[in-house]
Chain A
Amino acid sequence: MDKRKQFQISFVLSRVLNSGIIMSIEKNEKEIKGLEKFIGKATGLPYVSVFNSYTGALHGALYGQDLVHGTSTHLPDITEQEDNFLAWLGITSVGGNEDNVPFQRIRVNWDNIHNFESLMEEHSTLLLDLTDLGFGPCGIIATNQELIWKKSERLKIFGAFDLRTMWTQEESNYELQPGVQFNYRISPLVAACVKLSLLRRGEHNED
C-alpha cells in the first residue's frame, strides 16, 4: 500500500477507534447520517444517501430516476464494470449527449479529497465513489430532488425508512413502495472513517 495512503488511513482509523464507535445499528446510525450531512453541505445537494459500494450507489441513482429493468440510459465514458452492472440490472446502455445524462460521477481519492467539489458540473444528482480512500467500498448519492433520494433509500434493506421506526412497507405512495431490495447499508465504522477523512481533508499527512 502507498505509504501516504497508509498513514492517512492509520490516522483516521485511530481517531475513529478512540472515539468509542462500535457497530450497533441504532447507536451508530449517526455516523452514517453525519457523513450524509457533510456531503450535503459540501455539494450543496441536500438529499444524500450512502451505500456500501459504488455499484450500490449507482443502482440507487438509477432506481431513483426510474431507470429500472427494461429501460435505457446514457452514461458518458461508461466503464466496463458500469456497463456490465447496467446490463445485469436489465438497463440498456445507449449513446447520447450531455443533455440526457442522469447524473454526474466523481471518484474521490486522496489526491482530490481536498477539493473534489470543484469537479462538480451543473447536475442535480451526483454519484460519488469513495472506495479509493481505502476503508472499503463506499458510494454516495447527493441530489436536490427528494423523490430520487426517497426511491434510492427504498432500494435498501435498512434504508432510512426502515431504520427510523423499524417499520417498513406501509407506504401510501405506490411509487415509493419497495420492489427488490438489497442490503446496501454501509458499516458505520467505514462511514465514520470516510466522514473523518472528509472532515480533515487530508491535512494530516506526512508532507
Chain B
Amino acid sequence: MRTDFIKKPLDFPSESMVNESLAYFGGKAILPTDNRKTNFPYITKEDVMQMLVSIQHEPENVVGEFSEKYNKYVGANFSIPTASGTSSLHLALVGVGVEPGDEVIIPNFTFIATAQAVIAAKAIPVFTDVDPDTFCMDAAQVESLITKRTKVVMPVHVHGLPANLPMLQEICLKHNLKLVEDASHAHSASIDGKVCGSIGDAAGQSLMADKNFPVGGEGGISFFKKEEYYERAIKFLEESGIDYRMSWIAAAFGISQLERLPYYDEVRARNAQYLSDALNETKLFEPPKVPSGYKHSYNMYRIKLHRENVGLEDLEDFKVKEAIQQLIMEEGVFAREWQNRPIPGHLPFQNKKGFGNGYPFTLADEERKYEMEDYPTTLSMFRNTLTICRELRSPIEYERIQSYALAFKKIDQNPEAIREVVSKMDSSIKLPYEKDARLG
C-alpha cells in the first residue's frame, strides 16, 4: 500500500541556523533534502468512512448533500456543483446572462481558466492590469474599459486575497453590469465577514486537489445570488447538452473535508501570520498586504523583493529575483514563480482560434490587441516577487513554518551572496515573461 505518512520528523529549528553558510555555497540547508515534502491534502479515516457511507446512496443525492452543505457554509443562495473550476466559472457567466459577443472584464494575472471560461461562454475577455499591493484586478482601470458590449466584471481573488469587491460593486451598479467572482483561490476568504463566493451576482470556484478545500481530485461549484441566474444556468446545461456533473466520489470526499476546513483555515492563517511577522523583520522581503476587514485564505503567498533595501539596486531586478530563488531553493523552501506571463500573452489569446475559425473573437466589433506591455504592474510583479504555493496549504508542522522563516532571514543577511550569484549568471538569462508561458 502506498502511504503519505511522514516517516521522519523535522528537527526543531534554531535561530543560530541563519548564521551558517548558505546551502548554495555548501553550507547546511535549513530544511534537509529528505524532509522537504509538504503533504496535501490530508486524508483521514473520516474521509474513508464518508466514502463508504456515501456509496449506499444515490450518486445525485451525494452530490446534492455536498452542494447543500458547502452552499450553506459559504452563505450563497443557490449553487451548482460541477466537474471543475473552469466549468463553474462558465456556468456563473452564463447564469448572469452573458451571451455570445459580450465582453467580460477580468484581470490579466490569474490562472488561464478564468479567461478560457469567458471564451467558453462565447464572450470576449478584456483584461485589466493588477493592483501593485494586492495583485488583484486594478479596480481603478475598470471603468475605462467598459464598452456597450460589456456585460460582466469578473475579478479573481488572487492567491486567496479578496479583490476590491466594494469598489467593483459600485462600478457594476453604476453601469448596470453583473459582478462575478472567480473565487478559486479563496475558500473561506471574506470581506467584513462575508465569504467569497456569496458576494457577487454569481461566482465560480475550483475545488481541485491543489486548493485549500479539495474534493476528490477534481471539482468546482457555481454560486448564484438570484434564482433567475441559477435557473438560466440549469437551462443552459439542458440546452447545450454539455455534461459538467461532479462525480459523487469527489462530492463524498468534499463532505468529509468540509468538516475540517475551518481547522485547516486556522492553521494556515496562523502559519501565514508567523511567516509574515518574520519577513517584516527583514529588509529584503515584504509579506502580502491584507486590507482591513479582508480575510486572506493564503492558497498561495506572494513575497515582494526589495533589493534596494540591501544595497542591490544597481542589479537588474529579475536577476536578483532569480538569484534569491536559487538560494532559497537550496535551503529547502520552494519559493518560485507562479505564472510568468500576462494571460493575454498566452497563445490562445494571441492566436484567437477559440472554438474554431476564430469564434467567438469574430463577434467583436473590432479586433482586440492583447499586448503584454499593456500590463506594466503585472510585468513588474513577475520581476520582483516570489511565491510559496502549496507549502502553506496543509496543516504543516509548526517547526516547518519556523524553518521557512529562518531560511528567508538567512538569505536576507547575505546580500553579497545574492550579488555573487547574479554575477555568475549567464548573460542570456531571460525576463520571466520572455520565457515560455507557464500554466502555474
Contact = CB atoms under 8 A, between A and B. Distances in A.
Given A17-B48, A52-B218, A181-B116, A22 B250 contact: no
B6 interface: no
A89 B355 contact: yes
A13 interface: yes
A52 B438 contact: no
Contacts of A18: 1
A97 interface: no
Nearest to B84: A183
A34 to B, nearest CB: 13
B210 interface: yes
Contacts of B240: 84-85, 88
Contacts of A10: 52, 55
B74 interface: no
B356 A68 contact: yes
A169 B240 CA distance: 28
A14 B49 CA distance: 10
Q: Is the interface of B mostly helix, strand, loop or mixed?
A: loop
Contacts of A89: 355
Interface string B237-250: 00111111111111
A90 B356 contact: yes
Contact of B85 (A22, A28, A183): A183
Contacts of B83: 52-53, 137, 183
B351 interface: yes
B408 interface: no
B154 interface: no
B439 interface: yes
Contact of A169 (B239, B244, B347): B347
B116 to A, nearest CB: 5
B432 to A, nearest CB: 13
A181 B216 contact: no
Interface residues on B, range: 35 or more
A179 B356 contact: yes
B84 A85 contact: no
Interface in A174-192: 174, 177-190
B210 A54 contact: no
A85 B242 contact: yes
Contacts, number: 196
A191 to B, nearest CB: 8
Nearest to B361: A179
Interface residues of A, number: 67
A69 B439 contact: no
Given A53-B245, A182-B87, A187-B247, A20 B356 contact: no
Interface in A5-48: 6, 9-10, 13-14, 17-25, 28
Interface string B248-274: 111001000000000000000000000
B84 A83 contact: no
Contacts of B242: 53, 55, 85, 88
Nearest to B390: A24
Interface stretch (A104-112, A160-168, A197-205): A160-168
Nearest to A70: B357
B1 A187 contact: no
Nearest to A131: B243
B219 interface: yes
Nearest to B48: A17
Interface of A: 1, 6, 9-10, 13-14, 17-25, 28, 52-56, 63, 66, 68-71, 80-85, 87-90, 131, 134-137, 157-158, 162, 166-171, 174, 177-190, 193
Given A22-B4, A183-B86, A184-B84, 9 more contacts: A1-B59, A70-B357, A84-B240, A167-B439, A168-B438, A170-B436, A177-B347, A178-B348, A183-B83
